[in-house]
Chain A
Amino acid sequence: MKINRLELIAFGPFSGQILDFSSVLPGLHIVYGPNEAGKSSAMRALQALFFGFPVRTCDNFLHQNPQLLVGGSLQGSNGKELTFFRRKRTLKDMFDRSDNPIEPSALTPYLHGLDRNLYTALYGIDHETLVSGGQGILDQQGEVGKALFAAGAGLASLKPFMDELEAEGETLFRPQGSSKAINEALARHKALNNQYKEAILSCREWEEHHQDLEEAFKKLADLQNTREKLKTEHHRFERLTQALPDLSDRNNLLFKLTELGTVRTLPPRFSERRTILEQSERDARLHYEQEKARSHVLREKMSGLSLNRAFLDEADAIEKLHERLGEYLKAGNDRPQRDGQRIASRSAAANLLRQIKPELTIQEVESLRPGLSKRRSVHNLASRYQALLQASRQARIQVEDGEKAIEKAGIDLQKLLPVIDTAMLSPVLSVAERAGDLDRDIVNLGQDRAIAQRECHAALHRLGLWKGPLELTAHLALPLPETVTLFDEEFRVISNKQRQLNIEKEALEKERAEVVEQLHHIEFATDVPTEAELTRHRNRRNAGWLLLRRQWIQHEDVAEESRNYDPRHPLPEAYEQQVTLSDQIADRLYREADRVQQHASLKRAIEKIEKRLADIGDHEAVANTTLNEVSCRWKQLWCSFEFTPLSPGEMRAWIGSFENLRLQARECEKYVRDEALKLSRRRELKNELAREIEAIQKGKSFPGEELNGILLYAREVMTSAVTQQKQYELIEAKILDLKTRLENAKEGLIKTERELKQWSVDWSDAVTPLGLNIRTLPTEAIDFIDTLQECFDKLKEAEEFRKRIEGIDRDAASFETDVKILVNKIATDLSALDARSAVNELKSRLGRATQEEAVLQRDAEELDTLDNAMLKSEKVLQSCREEMVSMLQFAGCTAREELIEMEERSSHYTQLNNTLLEVERRLTRLAEGMAIADFEVQADTINPDELPGRIERLNDEINKLDPEIQLLSESIGRKKSELERMNGSGRAAELAEDLQHSLTKIRRLTERYIRVKIAAKILSEETERYRRENQGPVLGIASRYFAQLTLGSFTGLRTDVDDHGQMVLAAIRPNGNWLQTAAMSSGTRDQLYLALRLASLEWRIESSEPMPFIVDDILINFDDQRSAATINALCDLAAKTQVIMFTHHKKIVETARELDATGKLFIHQLGT
């Protein structure tokens, strides 16, 4: 492939620059651009053209992303040219000159599927790669394999990532290591596993623990039992020790009680009760005496007092008169004021009457009072009058308005258009509308059908092989997939066989070559003596001896035969030589028996290999025959299709595609059917619509097949008909409504007028009694009535004042009479006084009489109390005497002195008895449920002096048991806690989870290790294989380039073996000396790398299509001579493949111009 044009239409700093690389020879094209001219942009543009724009680009500073555009023209090895353009897009970014999209696969014949990275690696070089390539050769210590591989793969050096792989492998695992990732994980796994095993509780372990614990519990119970028994005994002895003194006390008390004999025991507090009784008797007597004296004094005082009883009897009358005195005085003051008020009211009434009826006097006014009864009627009629007037006016206006509105509506009705009848059109239209948008459906179906048909034809075309018409696809009988699979299997078997044979054959040939080489090695090292040779020389020696013997012993003339035997030496000498030679061969045969043996076996091996090769040849022939036979049957299977079938695998895919095609064809037919159906439906609907429209509106025509036009028109007709009908109905309803309203208004008017007449009659009835005529206005009548009413009110007021003055006078006379009567009754001495003073004096005399009465009352009450108290004291004395008699009877005594002695005996007896009870209570407690008598018997059986000793011994025994029990309890506690630890804990399960985590980790690391190690191994094997296969030719070409690049400082390259036995590169000086890479200058090493790269490229051209080689400013560090030499070398390469060199350096351009390379070297300037 070569690049003919690169168009920088809108990219980086460029707008429309074109680089024309077309030339007869591929040629070396130097693209020169000073700094900022866009050399790097141009290189990126080339990459963008080949492989598309990257997601982020730095070349959008002048043209925005959507505007970026590069184009170019590529020419393939077959001479075909492809011109295309690229935009910055994720998909479909390739176009032709007319802006039609191009499939990415169109580039495949030119770029052969190389991606950006691979292309850059294989067909690109820059200064950085060159320098690191030179350094790489040094790093790899000039190892041939790595150097060739790196140059071949377009890499600077293999070493870094071989090291990286090695290092990663090392960090993962080392058989003897411990700190490596896998080693560590394994160690952790082991530790976890141990913990896990410890955490596991086996069933047996649990059962053992369980049994152990139960036994310990049993032993503990036994010990505790024994201890309890000892403790009981110990306790019994202690009780006895305590009980002995009490037992002796008891005996003493019992004796004393017996001595005392029978005693009548008195109740407790008997003595106390007697003393209290005597005291109460004394107190009662004293009280009686005191009360008697006081009673006497009071009786004497009361007999000396007298009372004014008459005053006290009239006390109520005096109090009432005293109260009435206040009112009497007040009424006397009020009387003149009330009289004044009466006169004022009467004159006000006279004034009011004058306002309305001047002709009447105040005494005649009563004649008007009956008229006032009509007052409410007058008010009602007056308010009704206004309402009636208003209603009458309103009714008249309504009647007039109604008549006018009816007239206007009639005119509107006449103006309306006649209504269209759409009864027939409506159903047809709704059917058509329900059918959907047929026009669009038909267009869509048509398009879909066309596309489907086009796709079908395209698919048929793409399918290849079979060229029949599309319609036939449905009927073609394809071979069954199973048949194809059978053939496939057969072909596969045969080809496997062939491949096997081939592999074996290659292996045998290789083996033969190796054996032959070994044979040659043995043969060429020195000639190998053979048995045959020895026999031959011995025979010759024997012949010589026969001749010599014949000459020497038989004296025959053997001159002629001697010459024949050895023309150059006389016979004895010849014989001697022959003897020596035979001996030597024999010696060597003996000495070199091994080599001889090896030689012979190698020969045999070759024969064996040859035989096997012949066998393989036979097998191959058989395989070929079978293949031909199967091929024939295969072709026959397809003979009805009239094409030559491809392999069964491909044909299976073809059948698959063909089946798809059938499906597509069926789809296509469906479209055609649907379309026809819709078309006929549309025609039918259109005709029906047209017929109905014609009925309504004659002469209307609808050209064309579309339904939408006529549908639209029908819809309009329907809409306008409906609108008209609606308006018509609206106006008719309105007129009906207006008429009803007019009738109502007329009725209202008549009713109002009737009511007005009735009102006049009523009014006359109402105002006549008031002395007014019918013409009096309602307001005037109301005023008249109000004033008249006020006049009557004033008159009523004057009357009331008069009545009150009369009342005052009557009350005063009654009061004075009452006073006089009382004075005459109880105090005649006061009859000379006026009513007021007499009442006051009566009141003060009554006060005094009341006070005296109160004193007398109090003394009488005290006397009553004293009489009661005396009665009480007498009763107390009586009861004391009676109780004393009963106490004496109880004690069985006759006198009080006897009673006291009796009390003392009883008390002594009770005391002794109580002490005995106390002692017995203690003993009962100590006996702990045993009868005291039994307890006493027990105490009697024991010698009290032995008791402390026995108690001591029991104590010792108990104390010995205690630690034993303690130890056992502790052990049980431990066992229990151990069993509790076996509480269904999830510890082991958790550890099992941890183990799973650790296993997962180990697996992950191991898998990584496997990958890293396999990668390293493959890389190193591939390096070696590449060297083996390409070393000869590539090194040959590289030698030439290296000599050229180094201006003859070196004549070529060869391989050498270093101290470690590695094959390394060496350069040959003109004088034949070798120089290893470590000894080269860095510049020379750079040139060595370049030579290897160019050689790899040239070598690749032998087998693959040449591709443009992109060189980016590699001559920066080269001097002028070497630059010229390099450009020359590139020119040489450019005869076979296109080379495009980008540079910033004018000097290089000048150097190139000086070279004689017309037709091979082209210079392009950027930024002009």
Chain B
Amino acid sequence: MFSFLHAADIHLDSPLKGLEGYQDAPMEQIRLAARRAFDNLVQLAVDEKVAFLLIAGDLYDGDWKDYNTGIYFINRMGRLRDAGIPVFMVSGNHDAVSQITRSLQLPANITHFSHRHAGTHILDHYGVAIHGQSFSGRSVMEDLVRNYPQGDSALFNIGLLHTSLNGRPGHDTYAPCTLDGLRSKGYNYWALGHVHQREEICRDPWVLYPGNIQGRNIRETGSKGCTLVSVEEGAVVSVEHRELDVLRWATCRIDSARSDRVDSLLDLVREMFQAEIALADGRPLAVRLVLEGITPIHTQLHENRVQLNEEFRAIAANLGDLWIEKVMVNTRKREEHCTAFAADSPLISLIQSIERVKLDASSIVELVPEFEKLRSKLPPELLSEGDPFRPDEEELSTLRQEVEELLMGKIKQRGQHEN
């Protein structure tokens, strides 16, 4: 009996995205999260005394240039060498373009499969054959599986492959292949990489994406880690997910319909946060708070957004290591404007005018002269990851809603005279 670890999409040193530092945010606790998750992987391999470790591609982030990352990786691989654990890896689309991959001298316990042809490495002691082929460049569109050798029925065969299979939502299509193609090779276990969400594709044979080891943005929520596989007499006897992440991402959706006062909404938020903290099992959390539903406090929520954000942050700070990534107020008010009535009232036509704001050639730069000046000063990486001046239809709708609340909120604040 022996066991091995299957990990993928480590993206060493790639930063967490979408967080903005603020006082009381647990900044230090989540520093270098990808490295610390990787440390957890190495520790797990040592603790579990695994026979070997598989890395199914995307060890680095493609455009990451710091050689220190490579040195760090070699250092950790040294620990595995001391513990007598060999490592097998293939390059993914990210690694293929990484300069670090090209320059780094790997220690003897690492086997890095070639990109020219599919290779096989046999571990006689365990009766295991590991087959793999790396990516040669950023974009590999051919079915690599076709090059993989047929499995040797006397051995336990493992296929190490970076692929999007036959397409996975949210992921670029690379090295496409089919489940039937994988089955036809007669392997016992297909260790896949590329898809960041853990997914068990098939159990006979085992085909599995372990997901990435650390969520990097709000789209990568939930537990992250690697897969521990135990093999006995040439058959998989157990497959366990092991958590490695040091920071958990979560989206808290609050139905504000039940709250007729801000206080009770805060209580709901606190409860929701507590529930998420319990799920995260002591890890720091990055939370996106989405307030939804038809609520009588809709206007209050919009008018006091700054103050409310502070309240939410205070709750987070009191509960411990919790970072509020973003607060989205998507609530609606109980009554909609009666636009048909009093259409000649300036307020109604103001709302209509906001609704008419539209994109001109997919940009709103034309609307205000200062916009072009600001846009030209923005860092290019910001524009490339969602230009704020080129919102999509949904963002534009949010924009309209927020402009409306901004104007109407201010006007109503002044229009109110309670006796």
- Residues on A lying within 8 angstroms of B by beta carbon are 40, 43-44, 55, 90, 108, 112-115, 117-118, 120-122, 124, 126, 128-129, 149, 152-156, 160-161, 164-165, 169, 173, 175, 182, 186, 189, 193, 199-207, 982-990, 992-997, 999-1004, 1006-1007, 1009-1015, 1017-1019, 1021-1023, 1025-1026, 1030, 1099-1100, 1103-1105, 1112
Given A984-B74, A1013-B371, A1100-B345, A129-B66 contact (CB < 8 Å): no
A1018 in contact with B71 given A186-B377, A989-B66 (CB within 8 Å): no
Could you say which residues of chain A place their CB within 8 Å of the CB of B340?
112
Q: Would you give the 0/1 interface string for B23-38, flagging 1 where the beta carbon is closer than 8 Å to chain A?
A: 0000000011011000
CB-nearest residue of chain A to B12: A989
Q: Are A40 and B378 in contact (CB under 8 A)?
A: no
A493 to B124, CA, bound (A): 71
Q: Report the nearest A residue to B365, measured CB to CB.
A: A1010
Compute how far the CA of A155 lies from the CA of B19 in the bound complex, rounded to whole angstroms.
40
- Which residues of the other chain, A, contact B71 by a CB distance below 8 angstroms? 206, 982-984
Report the separation of the CA atoms of residues A175 and B373 in the bound assembly, to the nearest whole angstrom. Answer: 6
| A182 vs B65: C-alpha distance when bound (angstroms) | 28
From B13, B31, B371, B378, A988 is in contact (CB under 8 Å) with B13
- Bound state CA distance, A205 and B70, in angstroms? 13
B202 CB to closest chain A CB (Å) equals 36
CB distance from A949 to the nearest CB of B (A): 54
Contact of A112 among B338, B364, B374, B407 (CB under 8 A): B338
The answer to whether B68 touches A1003 (Cβ under 8 A) is no
Task: Kindly supply a per-residue 1/0 record for chain B positions 110-124, scoring 1 wherever the CB is within 8 Å of any chain A CB and 0 otherwise.
Answer: 000000000000000
Indicate if the CB atoms of B378 and A112 lie closer than 8 Å: no
Find B18's partner among A118, A122, A128, A1000 (CB 8 Å cutoff): A1000
Closest to B339 in A: A113
Residue pair B406, A1015 in contact (C-beta under 8 Å): yes
Is residue B260 within 8 Å, beta carbon to beta carbon, of the partner chain?
yes
Chain B positions 335 through 353: 1 when the CB is less than 8 Å from some CB of chain A, otherwise 0:
1111011111111011001
Contact sample, A vs B, 28 pairs, CB 8 Å cutoff = A43-B419, A90-B260, A108-B338, A120-B415, A126-B417, A153-B411, A164-B410, A175-B373, A203-B65, A205-B67, A984-B70, A984-B72, A992-B15, A995-B15, A999-B379, A1000-B19, A1002-B382, A1006-B388, A1010-B389, A1014-B368, A1014-B399, A1015-B407, A1021-B353, A1022-B349, A1026-B349, A1100-B344, A1100-B345, A1103-B344
Cα separation A1004 to B100 with both chains bound (whole Å): 34
Give, as a whole number of angstroms, the nearest-CB distance from B154 to chain A: 41
Binding site for A on B (CB under 8 A): 13-21, 31-32, 34-35, 65-75, 99-100, 102-104, 260-261, 335-338, 340-347, 349-350, 353-354, 357, 364, 367-368, 370-371, 373-374, 377-379, 381-382, 385-386, 388-389, 399, 402-403, 406-407, 410-412, 414-417, 419
Asked if residues B13 and A997 are in contact (CB atoms below 8 Å), the reply is no
Find chain A residues with CB under 8 A from B342 CB.
112, 114, 122, 1100, 1104
Residues of B within 8 A of A993 (CB): 15-16, 31-32
Which residues of chain A are near B18, meaning CB under 8 Å? 996, 1000
Inter-subunit contact A200/B65 (CB<8 Å) = yes
Residue of B whose beta carbon sits closest to that of A168: B406
Q: A112-B342, A203-B102, A203-B103 are in contact. Are A997 and B20 (CB under 8 A)?
A: yes
| Assembled-state Cα–Cα distance A548/B280 (Å) | 115
Instruction: Determine the chain B residues whose CB is within 8 A of the CB of A1011 once the complex forms.
Output: 399, 402-403, 406
The 7 A-B pairs of least Cβ separation, nearest first, read A113-B338, A984-B72, A984-B71, A203-B103, A112-B341, A989-B13, A1000-B20
A1003 touches B412 (CB 8 A): no
Q: How far is the CA of A1015 from the CA of B302 in the complex (A)?
A: 15
Indicate if the CB atoms of A986 and B67 lie closer than 8 Å: no
| B343 contacts A1018, C-beta separation under 8 Å | no
B335 pairs with A113, CB closer than 8 A: yes
Known: A984-B72, A1006-B378. 7 other contacts (CB 8 A): A118-B337, A202-B67, A983-B68, A990-B31, A993-B32, A1013-B371, A1100-B344
Q: How far is the CA of A44 from the CA of B350 in the complex (A)?
A: 28
A206 to B32, CA, bound (A): 22
Q: How far is the CB of A998 from chain B (nearest CB, A)?
A: 8
Task: Contacts A117-B415, A997-B19, A1112-B419 given; indicate if A992 touches B367 (C-beta within 8 A).
Answer: no
B350 x A989 contact (CB < 8 A) = no
- A121 and B335 CA atoms in complex are apart in Å by 17
Give the complex CA separation of A993 and B349 in angstroms: 45
Q: Separation in Å of the A31 CB from the closest CB of chain B? A: 13
Cβ–Cβ < 8 Å partners of B74 in chain A: 984
Q: With A and B bound together, what is the CA distance between A634 and B15 in angstroms?
A: 58
Interface residue from A153, A155, A202, A1017 paired with B65 (Cβ < 8 Å): A202
| Interface pair B370/A1018, CB less than 8 Å apart | no
Determine the residue in chain B with the shortest Cβ distance to A160: B414
A44 / chain B contacts, CB cutoff of 8 Å:
419
Looking at the assembled complex, report how far the CB atom of A168 sits from the nearest CB atom of chain B, in whole angstroms. 9
Checking B19, B73, B341, B379 against A189 with a beta-carbon cut-off of 8 angstroms, the contacting residue is B379
Contacts of A121 in B (CB 8 A): 347, 411-412, 415
- B103 contacts which chain A residues (CB < 8 A)? 203-204, 206-207
Chain A residue nearest to B381 (CB atoms) is A999
Instruction: Determine if B345 and A152 form an interchain contact, defined as CB atoms under 8 angstroms apart.
Output: yes
Q: Which residue among A108, A160, A1019, A1025 has the maximum number of chain B CB atoms within 10 Å of its CB?
A: A1019
CB distance from B209 to the nearest CB of A (A): 25
Is there contact, CB below 8 Å, between A1014 and B344? no
With CB as the reference atom, state the residue of chain A lying closest to B261. A55
Given contacts A90-B260, A113-B336, A201-B66, A999 and B382 within 8 Å (CB-CB):
yes
Give Cα A982–Cα B71 distance, bound, in whole angstroms. Answer: 8
- Taking a contact as CB atoms under 8 Å apart, the answer to whether B364 and A1014 are in contact is yes
Task: Name which residue of chain B comes closest to A989, CB basis.
Answer: B13
- Docked pose: A1006 CA to B373 CA in angstroms: 12
- Is B344's CB under 8 angstroms from A1019's CB? no
Contact yes or no, B338 A982, CB < 8 A? no
A994 to B28, CA, bound (A): 11
A992-B381 Cα distance, complex, nearest whole Å = 12
CB-CB under 8 A for A200 and B66, given A55-B260, A207-B103, A1019-B350:
yes
Which one of A44, A128, A1011, A1017 has the greatest number of beta carbons of chain B within 10 Å? A1011
Give min CB distance, B87 to chain A, whole Å. 17
| Separation of A160 and B411 alpha carbons in the complex (Å) | 10
Q: Which of A112, A997, A1010, A1015 has the most CB of B within 10 A?
A: A1010
